[in-house]
Structure 1
Amino acid sequence: MLNQLRRIKQRAIWSWAGFLHVYRTEGSLMQWLVANVISGGLAIALPLGTAETALLLMGGVMVLAAECVNTAIERVVDDISTEIRDAARQAKDCGSAAVAVTAVAVGVAWVVILIGLVRG
């Protein structure tokens, strides 16, 4: 049991180190954090149901996760070679697309929830 707790602790340390790396090296993460503060604040302040609020908060966190994965893809591609290659560009573009699609999903959720709020 103690060994399992140590493993969990180590995984948390590695995960935090990864998040800090993305925070320090990718300006877009800061932009997403600001967007999350605004979105989360609105989700909490508006008269939304618990599930709607949870969905919006979770969606924002998923955008942050996608940004972390995108950064991981970029680092691996750059580590393999600094040469400009079609496959490298495509991998990076796909990672970026994952972030964009996740963000669009949150935007769609906001639109649907706000329409329901207006319709009352």
Structure 2
Amino acid sequence: MIVTKATGLARFYHATRYSWKGLKAAYRSEPAFRYEAWVALALLPVAFWLAESGLQLGLLVSSLLLVLTMELINTAVEAVVDRAGTEFNTLAGLAKDLGSAAVLFSLLIVAVIWGGVIFDNLIAA
């Protein structure tokens, strides 16, 4: 049996549906993703107020999106590891820890970028 994949707009439509399905699943099942999404939503207007240039705005907003992206990837890694089995496995634990570390680093990136923008704006004032 030959399976044909959708192309063009149909492919875009299906890809978008799957992406929204993933976002909804992450929001429903992952408290960390919910918290980070709400913090990002709260900081978004602050970014528009704080930014003095398009570049600063892009950095501020992108750093928030990076955290959400890392959390989605971490959740995907955890789901795959949990699907593989429930018995203890050193590599499974390592995979989960590395995913968590990626989220931590993305949060540090937010702190560095937001701190840098605030510092630049204070110096310029």
Q: TM-score, normalised by structure 1?
A: 0.93
Tell me the equivalent position of 2:72.
68
Q: Distance in 1 between matches of 2:32 and 2:79?
A: 15
Q: How far did 1:116 drift?
A: 0.5
Q: How far did 1:17 drift?
A: 0.6
Considering only CA atoms, is the larger Rg found in Structure 1 or Structure 2?
A: 2
Q: How far did 1:92 drift?
A: 0.4
Tell me the equivalent position of 1:111.
115
* 1:52 has 2:56 as partner: yes
Please list, as runs of the form range in 1=range in 2, the aligned pairs for 1:1-120 lying within 5 A after superposition.
3-120=7-124
**C-alpha distance after superposition, 1:60-101 (max 9, x if no partner):** 111111111100000000000111111111100101111111
**Can you give the 5+ residue segments of structure 2 that lack an aligned partner in the other structure?**
1-5
Q: 1:47 to 1:23 in 2, by over 3 A?
A: closer
Counting aligned pairs with the same residue, the percent is 30
Q: How far did 1:47 drift?
A: 4.9
Number of residues of Structure 1 aligned to a counterpart in Structure 2: 119
What is the identity, as a one-letter code, of the residue corresponding to 2:102?
A: A
Q: Distance in 1 between matches of 2:80 and 2:50?
A: 41
Q: Distance in 1 between matches of 2:47 and 2:64?
A: 11
Q: Distance in 2 between matches of 1:12 and 1:106?
A: 27
What is the identity, as a one-letter code, of the residue corresponding to 2:8?
A: Q
Tell me how large the CA RMSD over aligned residues is: 1.3
**C-alpha distance after superposition, 1:5-44 (max 9, x if no partner):** 0001000001111111111100001111122123212111
Q: Distance in 1 between matches of 2:101 and 2:76?
A: 14
What is the identity, as a one-letter code, of the residue corresponding to 1:10?
A: H
